[in-house]
Every structure is written in C-alpha cells, then in structure tokens.
Structure 1
C-alpha cells in the first residue's frame, strides 16, 4: 500500500505539469494567432494600397483577370483528375485551362502580370 505522502506528491506533480503544459499551449496559441492576424491585416492593407495606387476600375479588371486564371486552373485540375480516374492516357486537359480559348469567349487575353505594370 503506497503511503499518503507519495500519493499527495504524485498529485502535486501532476497538477504542476498540467499547469506548465497549459501555459505552453497558451503561449503557442498567442504567437500563432498573432501571426495570422498580422497576415490578415497586412493583406487587407496591401489590397487597399493596390486599389489606391492603380484605381478601382483597373483593380476590378485585375481581379477579373485573376478570377479567370484561377477558374482556368480549377477547370484544368478537374479535367486532369477526371482523365486520371477514367484511365485515359495522353495529355489530359488539352484545350482547357487558362491559356486556351473557351466556347463563346474570345481567347488571347493579353493582360500583363501585375508586377510587370510598374517595371
């Protein structure tokens, strides 16, 4: 039978270790939360500065261009993944993607990359 002193000492060590682990968790969560807040507000300020710098109309065009690029990547990914699951070989996704002309739309949109505007 363990004596009462060793059980009490074990309980105290358990409580102290749980307190230390809780403190470490709170410190880590503080720094992770701070990093996410800095990235979020930095991106908001960066977007606001970009809109102020180029104007609302040009920023809207750039947003539309970026949306088209992302949509093309998603379509290409879906075409390649569906071709991979059906087992068809070759070049999956030819004719889809952000560089190809789509049905009902004129292809060849030649808007420069945003970082080339101020070069």
Structure 2
C-alpha cells in the first residue's frame, strides 16, 4: 500500500473517474450516432433492394414480351412464305393460261386465214 496522503489520491481518483465518465459519454454518443447511421444504411439498402426487385420485374416482363413478339414474328414469317409460295403458283398458272390463250389465238388465226395466205405468212387484215 502507498502511504501517500489520502486527499491527493482521492482527487486523482475523482479526476480519473470524471475522465472515464467523459469517455463513456463520448462512447455512448458515438454509439447513438453509429446506430442512427446503421439504421439509415439499412433503409437505403432496403430501398436499393426494392428498386432492384422492380427492375428485375420490368426485365422479366420485357423478356416475356420479346418472346411473345418473336413467336408472332415467326408466325407472320411463315404466313408470308406461304403467301409467297401461293403467288409463285398463281404466277405459274397465269403464265400457263396466257400461253394456252396465245396458242389458241394462233390456232384460231390459222383457221381463219385462207390457205393461200398461210404460206406467205401474212395475217388477215394486214396489208400485203
């Protein structure tokens, strides 16, 4: 044990206790600030997660729309190629019909042309 006088020791202890109280109060204030910051950060993280979920929903909806539109485009493309094939068929039929018409007209012309004019190659009603 120290044999120093009691009064200076008590004074030193009181100063040390006051200093400890100040440190504790500062720590308490710092803890309150830290809790407030943590709470704000938690809210911000929650908001970021909410925005992220909303963006994810939008992207999923956009993906669904693109898939639906892709299917519609595929159907339209198939219909277009079907119509194109039909048009090619109609074109062939039309060309064939005109060819038959031309052949028929040539045959009629030949029948209407007198035999003596057939050899010269002139057409009826054309100047000789």
Task: Give the TM-score range, shorter chain.
Answer: 0.3 to 0.5
| Bigger helix share | 2
Which structure's CA Rg is the greater one? 2
- Which structure has more RCO (C-alpha within 8 Å, separation ≥ 6)? 1
